[in-house]
Structure 1
Amino acid sequence: MQCGHYRGRAVHALFMNKSLGSLLLPDSFHERMQVERWHVHEFIRKEAMPLMKPGIKVLDAGSGREQEQYLRKELLATGATLHTCDFCEGPGVDFVADVSDLPFEAASYDIVLSTQVLEHVMDPQKVVSEMARVLKPGGKLFLTTPQSSPLHNLPWNFFNFTNLGLRLLFDTAGLKVVKEQAQGGHFTLLAYQLHWTLNVLRGLSLPGVLKKPLILFWQACFGFLFKVILIRLDRCDPDPLNTQGWNFLGEKPESGNPA
């Protein structure tokens, strides 16, 4: 994996590929608008963090560097012992290793986190089995990964996963699936795709006199106004099969040692 006026600030941010919302919105509301990450963050906050306390050992497998560890401060604030592991060294990375070959003894951790990593590995089954191996009996794996995502981190983007595929990976690794949760439904995915269109527009060969107003219009409409509407509509989606991805909670049996 390879490694101050609002108007003036907003326009400058736009053409520097920065987010208007980060300048204009309260932090909590701005985070909610980041539809590609919000469901993942809320899953970890609501399902994993309440289990963390002093004496609990947590491994963030495929953590990325410190600037990519969006929940780092919140995880550390729980008092749990947090170890980070990534293929690339850098600030905030405790162990440099491949997540398919973790440098830890079996049954070392109470909790393993793996957020938006599995799509970047060559052997997903080996990785899930390896994370199961380092879990203590009764330990829990919190794993999130895309089902629908543009190609990114090229060339290290190998798979997208359905919930059925993830169940198969967990079952083969000897993990009981305790919870599976869609990362939003159709309208969240639509909000993300419309916002992603900004990346496409920035790459178009258009004269600046046309391109800059088009980007400004698109960001205002689909980066904010329509996104608010779509997020609310998403609450009405009864069967979110057309989703950005999946959040899974797996538990290692109290007896036995999978992988």
Structure 2
Amino acid sequence: MITLEKILACPKCKTLLKVKNEKLYCLRCKIPYAKEDGIWQLLYLKDSQGRKSQKEYDMAHKKYFGGPDDGSYEILSAMARGNETVDIACGEGQIEKLSPETVAVEFSQNALIKAKKNGAKYLVLADAHSLPFADNSFDVSISAGNIEHFQNPQKAINEMARVSRIQVMTVHRHLPIPFGKFLFHLVTNIFNIKHQPLEKPISEGQLVKLVEKAGLHIVFKGVWTLPVNYGKVIPFLPVFEKIPSCYFVISVKR
């Protein structure tokens, strides 16, 4: 069982935090961090774009903002169980519902409140670009369909590499159909229909470069079939359930 307070670090300088008056405290930055409603408040956002995205996601999570019910979270939670695992951008805790010992990280307080209701035991409000953990804190880190929504995917993967030995990532790609990239541009930029504030589908080649640049060795890679348009984001289109809509990578730090 993980002792969360022993691995929490300052999101700014990565110094291990010290317990002081029922709070955690960074001796270098002189900043206290509190726990509210069972959630450690360690969010550090450097720029206005990050703060804007955080507010938009927090508003979205006031309503239902869950993921598909196609078995993918069962697979990911099986990878998490039995390991010291962190779920980065955990959303409303679909993995934690099946693997409650997983450390749930989100920059939306509303999402973490729902994750707690779904059974998550360890909750941390933090940004994927500035994870508040000591180096090598986890066996496994998981990012399920989030890399393409991050402002700086490279920095987020670098952080996964820093805090974990094994990294599991699924990322959305452009639809594997003729003119898929054009259709994405048409829907998101012309019609202004988006599922999330930042939408930047990643190619397999881009993903491989990001992972390798983080100093990681890819063990497995392939395609992952996730439903497209779940939640009927584009109302006039159906839900496509059998399209290889994602790439996945499992990497290790040597």
TM-score range, shorter chain: 0.5 to 0.7
Greater percentage in helix: 1
Pick the aligned partner of 2:76 from 21, 24, 44: 44
In the TM superposition, residue 180 of structure 1 has moved relative to its aligned partner by 1.0
1:75 matched to 2:99? The reply is yes
Deviation by residue 1:28-51 (Cα, 9 ceiling, x = unmatched): xxxxxx9x66374354256x24xx
Q: Which residue number in structure 2 is paired with residue 247 of structure 1?
A: 248
Quote how far apart the aligned CAs of 1:101 are: 0.5
Q: Percent identity?
A: 19
Q: Does 1:58 align with 2:64?
A: no
- The 1:175–1:248 alpha-carbon spacing in structure 2 relative to 1, beyond 3 Å, is same
Distance 1:97 1:153, change over 3 A: farther
Name the CA shift for 1:42/1:196 in 2 (closer, same or farther; >3 Å). same
Provide the rounded CA distance (Å) in 1 between the counterparts of 2:249 and 2:103: 21
Partner of 2:132: 103
Q: Report the alpha carbon displacement of residue 160 of structure 1 after superposing the two structures with TM.
A: 0.6
Q: Which residue of 1 aligns with 2:209?
A: 168
Please name the residue that 1:88 is paired with. Answer: 108
Higher share in strand: 2
Shift of 1:71: 2.6
- Alignment of 1:200 with 2:235, yes or no, is yes
Q: Give 1:99 deviation, angstroms.
A: 0.4
Q: Decide which structure has the larger Cα Rg and report it.
A: 1
Q: Which runs of 5+ in 2 are unaligned?
A: 1-52, 59-63, 117-122, 176-183, 189-193
Report the AA paired with residue 176 of structure 1: H
2:13 matched residue in structure 1: none
Among 150, 162, 166, the alignment partner of 1:140 is 166
What is the distance in 2 between the residues matched to 1:119 and 1:146? 7
Q: What TM-score comes out, normalization by structure 2 length?
A: 0.56
Paired amino acid for 2:94: Y
Match of 2:157 among 118, 128, 137: 128
Deviation of the 1:132 alpha carbon: 0.5
Supply the AA of the counterpart residue of 1:247. F
Q: 1:75 to 1:159 in 2, by over 3 A?
A: same
In structure 2, relative to structure 1, the CA distance for the partners of 1:153 and 1:252 (3 Å cut) is same
SS, match of residue 235 in structure 2: helix
SS in 1 for 2:99: helix
1:39/1:170 CA distance change after superposition, 3 Å: farther
Structure 1 contact 40–247 (Cα < 8 Å) conserved: no
1:158 and 1:120 mapped to 2: Cα distance?
5
Count of residues in correspondence between the two structures: 167
Closer, same or farther: CA 160–199 of 1 in aligned 2, 3 Å: closer
Higher relative CO (Cα under 8 Å, sequence separation at least 6) belongs to 1
Instruction: Tell me if the contact between 2:215 and 2:253 (Cα under 8 Å) persists in the aligned partners.
Output: yes
Q: CA distance change for structure 1 residues 104 and 176 in 2, over 3 Å: closer, same or farther?
A: same
Segments of 4+ in structure 1 off by > 6 A? 195-198
Q: How many angstroms apart in 1 are the aligned matches of 2:77 and 2:108? A: 26
User: What are the ranges of 5 or more consecutive residues in structure 1 without an aligned counterpart?
Assistant: 4-17, 19-33, 202-217, 235-242, 254-259
Contact 2:221/2:249 (CA < 8 Å) preserved in 1?
A: yes
Deviations 1:52-91 (A, max 9, x none): 32xx311111112xxx322322212xxxx42111111131
